[in-house]
Structure 1
Amino acid sequence: MYLIAFIVSEAINIYKWILIIYILMSWVPSVQDSSIGRLFERVCEPFLSPFRKIIPPIGGVIDISPMVAFVVLWFAQIGIQSILLRFV
């Protein structure tokens, strides 16, 4: 069970880094329009879009939904770890 908890935790950490890269890519439109940008969009947007529907941008400019998404991922990571490690 410890191995499963470790793998799930690392997968969430990798996804967090993918989200960070995707968010930074949004500041550079030429990178976002590249093939790697479209790949990151396909991986990240399904997770971010529900948060964007609930949380509007502040002043129509600043999107804080990725921060909320990170908090949700963090809670999920801790919850999954505690559940899986309870069976060890």
Structure 2
Amino acid sequence: MLTLVLYLFKALNWVVSAYILLIVIYALLSWLPGGYQSRIGQIIVRLVEPFLKYFNFVALGPIGFGPVVAIIVLSLVQYGIQAIEMVVLRVLFT
């Protein structure tokens, strides 16, 4: 039971980390001409843009800070997952 709970929290943490990496790659693709039109770029766009549309309001002129805000939000989610993991472990060990 304990190992299943630990694997579940580790898997959630890994998924959030992988999604943060996808957002970073998405942002870097904007520097490459035709980066979004490549096959891998199209896959990343389909995975990342639905989440990023909630953060497109953050812009300073032509420069958008949506990916930065999204990464901050996902980092907070990671901290929350880790905090919940610690609480669950305390409950299971007491």
Larger CA Rg, structure 1 vs 2: 2
Aligned residues, how many?
85
Structure 2 CA distance for aligned equivalents of residues 81 and 13 of structure 1 = 13
Q: Specify every segment of 5 or more residues in structure 1 that has no aligned partner in the other structure, as ranges.
A: none
Structure 1 segments of 4+ aligned residues over 4 angstroms from their partners? none
Identity of aligned residues (%): 33
* Equivalent residue number for residue 47 of structure 2: 43
TM-score (norm 1): 0.88
CA RMSD of aligned residues (A): 1.2
Q: Specify every segment of 5 or more residues in structure 2 that has no aligned partner in the other structure, as ranges.
A: 90-94
Structure 2 CA distance for aligned equivalents of residues 65 and 45 of structure 1 = 10
What displacement does 1:65 show?
1.2
* Bigger RCO (CA 8 Å, 6+ sep): 1
Indicate the structure with greater strand content.
2
Structure 1 CA distance for aligned equivalents of residues 64 and 46 of structure 2 = 19
TM-score (norm 2): 0.83
